[in-house]
Amino acid sequence: MRARQQALTLIVVVVGVLVLAATATAAVARRQGSGSSAVSAAVATPTVVPTITVTAVGDICFASAPGRLIKSKGPKAPFSQVAAMTSAATVTVGNLECVLSKRGSPVAGKAYAFEGDPSAVQGLTYAGFDFLALGNNHSGDYGHTALLDTVANLNKAGIGHAGAGANWAAAVQPAILVKGTARIAFLSFCQIGPSSFKAAKSAPGTAYTLDLPTVTNAIKSARKQADYVIVAIHWGVEKQTTPTTTQVKFGRAAIDAGADLVLSHHPHVIEGIEFYKGKLIAYSLGNFVFSPGSAIGHDTLILSIQLTQHRITAATARPYMIDGDGRPVLATGKNETRIIKAITTTSQGRGTVVTVPRGVVHLKAK
């Protein structure tokens, strides 16, 4: 009898424990509620960073011939033959090699000082520019006031820029663009003097620096803020079609630090396009909207790149010729042949595989 009672008591205790456990489990589930579901959903459906397309061009200067063209035909005229292409990409990048201001005076001691009418910003908007490099040797040509006017005019137009600003911190700060779910950062640096254009802690100027850690640290910081990082460096030797050892060193270090693309300028001619660790370095994109100072300076290109977070999936270059108005137009005939040869030769010299179906230069890594 006693044994039967003990057995019944044990059964009651066990059942009670199971009921309490089930109740506690249900309570925990209720407390976690939608939060638990959200975590599960986040794990199941991570944010996908989309593939982007980047269109890149070289030096843009609205002085001389392009300035006269704007006066006679309006601010969109310099881009009339290219806007359909440049505005089609996710991101379009160029180097603004002049101020956009009517104020200031040419600084002493420079052979060339480039000033563009502020109305030219309408042409930049029309052509679809998202980022412009200001880290160059002409952003300071007309002094601090004109430089700050240029920054203000680009801000008003909603065009991102980097490489110059009200102080050093602003000059080296990345411009950030959000397209869909992709965050794209843009940085610009200058290695060409005068060094007096360099921004100070509390004075306007450019991101002039010859210090590699300054560049790589800025890239690493930008990498934490964005899915893609594009870097422009103003460097090299004018009219030289091969990059210097310094260009190669800085370009590859930029990729190692986290840049996806290095899109550069200053030589005013086309230099090679190189693939490095799955990323791309364009050592010089030549002139674009410009009054060239040499015959070879009329030869240019539009570089189009498609990339994911992991690699370049496509890269093409189309040959263009700068006409007498400083305006890029699609190259034909002998001009097309010459420019394609220049792109091909300089890029093969950087170890790039080149094919040219139907007048378009296709570039890829070995």
Residue 187 lies in a domain: yes
Range of the domain at 300: 52-364
Residue 282 lies in a domain: yes
- Burial category of 166 from C-beta neighbours within 10 Å (exposed 0-12, middle 13-18, buried 19 and up): middle
Domain count, the chain: 1
In the chain, the largest separation of any two C-alpha atoms, in whole Å, equals 116
Q: What confidence tens digit (pLDDT) does each residue in 51-107 have?
A: 999 999 999 999 999 999 999 999 999 999 999 999 999 999 999 999 999 999 999
Residue 115 lies in a domain: yes
Residue 318 lies in a domain: yes
Q: What confidence tens digit (pLDDT) does each residue in 234-274 have?
A: 999 999 999 999 999 999 999 999 999 999 999 999 999 99
> Which pTM value belongs to this model?
0.88
Dihedral class, residue 278 (left if φ above 0, else alpha if ψ from -120 to 50, else beta):
left
Residue 256 lies in a domain: yes
Q: What confidence tens digit (pLDDT) does each residue in 17-46 have?
A: 333 344 443 433 333 333 333 333 344 456
Q: What confidence tens digit (pLDDT) does each residue in 306-355 have?
A: 999 889 999 999 999 999 999 999 999 999 999 999 999 999 999 999 99
Residue 74 lies in a domain: yes
Residue 14 lies in a domain: no
Residue 128 lies in a domain: yes
Q: Dihedral sign, CA of 113, 99, 235, 300?
A: negative
CATH for 343: 3.60.21.10
| Residue 68: both structure tokens together | 């006269």
